[in-house]
Amino acid sequence: MSDNFDPNAAALADSGIYGLPCTAEEAQIIIIPVEWELTTSYNRGTVDGPAAIMEASMQVDLCHHDYPDLWQKGIWMDEFPKELRDLHDELAPISEEIINALYEDKIKSKPQYFNILYQRIEAATAKKNEWLRERIAYWKDKGKIVGLLGGDHSCPLAYHQYLNSVGEEYGILHADAHMDLRDCFEGFKYSHASIFFNTLKFKNVKKLVQVGIRDYCHQEKALAESQPDRIKVFFDRDCRRRMFEGENWKTIVDEIVDALPQKAYISIDIDALDPKLCPNTGTPVPGGLEYEELMYLLNRIKQAGKEIVGFDLCEVSPGDGDWDGNVGARVLFHLCGVVSK
């Protein structure tokens, strides 16, 4: 990083994420943007989340309260291939056609036709996952800390595929409004609502610890209850009840952190937060974590000495304003502080 860089000055237009002038070689942390959301069935827009966060990052002051020297470690954002973004944009209307047909109960009338459409979405997502696995491996081989920036929450599956391929054993801290344990939600194998149903197929994933959960189906609850030693859910309402009755957030966070093994992956869906902080996210749900509650939880994971093997932030959607990108940029910056060496 240039010796002439002034961390107190305004970010320059041609600088990298957070206004940092570092190169990929100089950066300790690499962020891979994943512009993909072919299975989002409510509000779309997370495909533009990485760009919104990149833009908002230029307004983030670099003296982080907990990690004031974070900027010196270097953060660099990679590029999502234009070929894959074009493929996504080509298939987005097709995925919307499938979802509309589902809600209008038209799939049964043309099963062969819609089966072909499903296969196109699945093949494209598999192609994206292959590129992403290779990209993660490329940066990991260079000794970088690697994070993903979605896109919808289907994006991190490639990270877990990579970790499985290298035999890494770990647990997952999953902050979300949803359990994401559905089997092929709406017929999509790689649905954003199926990310952890798919991830738990890997035996090297020893524990899934979920926080902020407040919207789920019977199938998901039954799956969690069937694997109590592997899936631990801190339902939002249960946590609030405990706090209303006299317990504090620290006590609950101690339990969350203790439930994680020594090696941990952090997966943050922005809708884990109260929707006042992310109103344009794909599937907002009342309730959720306050910003500082999430920051405290992340800090305690670091303070506990957990080894972070990877991380992601997903489901940031810019909508018509800049608020979601603003919050997302700060969550990402804090994540970088937590994972930094």
pLDDT, tens digit only, all 341 positions of the chain: 667 899 999 998 889 999 999 999 999 999 999 999 999 888 899 999 999 999 999 999 999 999 999 999 999 999 999 999 999 999 999 999 999 999 999 999 999 999 999 999 999 999 999 999 999 999 999 999 999 999 999 999 999 999 999 999 999 999 999 999 999 999 999 999 999 999 999 999 999 999 999 999 999 999 999 999 999 999 999 999 999 999 999 999 999 999 999 999 999 999 999 999 999 999 999 999 999 999 999 999 999 999 999 999 999 999 888 999 999 999 999 999 999 99
Q: How far is C-alpha 147 from the geometric centre of its chain's CA atoms?
A: 9
173 pairs with which residues across the strands? 209, 266
- Per-residue pLDDT at 2: 67
The closest of 12, 154, 150 to 80, measured between CA atoms, is: 150
Model-level pTM?
0.97
Flag whether 10 is in a domain.
no
Of 277, 284, 290, 286, the closest CA to residue 249 belongs to: 290
> What pLDDT shows up at residue 43?
85
Domain assignment of residue 15, yes or no: no
Q: In the prediction, which pLDDT does 42 show? A: 81
**Distance (Å) of CA 75 to CA 30, 60, 230, 291, 341:** 6, 13, 33, 22, 12
Q: What is the domain-level CATH number for residue 246?
A: 3.40.800.10
d(CA 295, CA 324): 17
Residue 125 lies in a domain: yes
Can you give the residue range of the structural domain that contains 187? 20-339
Question: Residue 9 domain-assigned?
Answer: no
Tell me how many domains the chain contains.
Answer: 1
> What is the rounded CA–CA span in Å between residue 108 and residue 187?
13
**6 domain residue, yes or no:** no
Residue 326 lies in a domain: yes
At residue 13, the pLDDT reads 84
**Cα R_g (the chain), whole angstroms:** 19
Whether residue 167 lies inside any domain: the answer is: yes
| In a domain? residue 183 | yes
Instruction: Give me the pLDDT at residue 4, please.
Output: 86
Return the pLDDT at 7: 95
Contact 273, 290 (CB under 8 A): yes
* pLDDT given for residue 41 in this prediction: 80
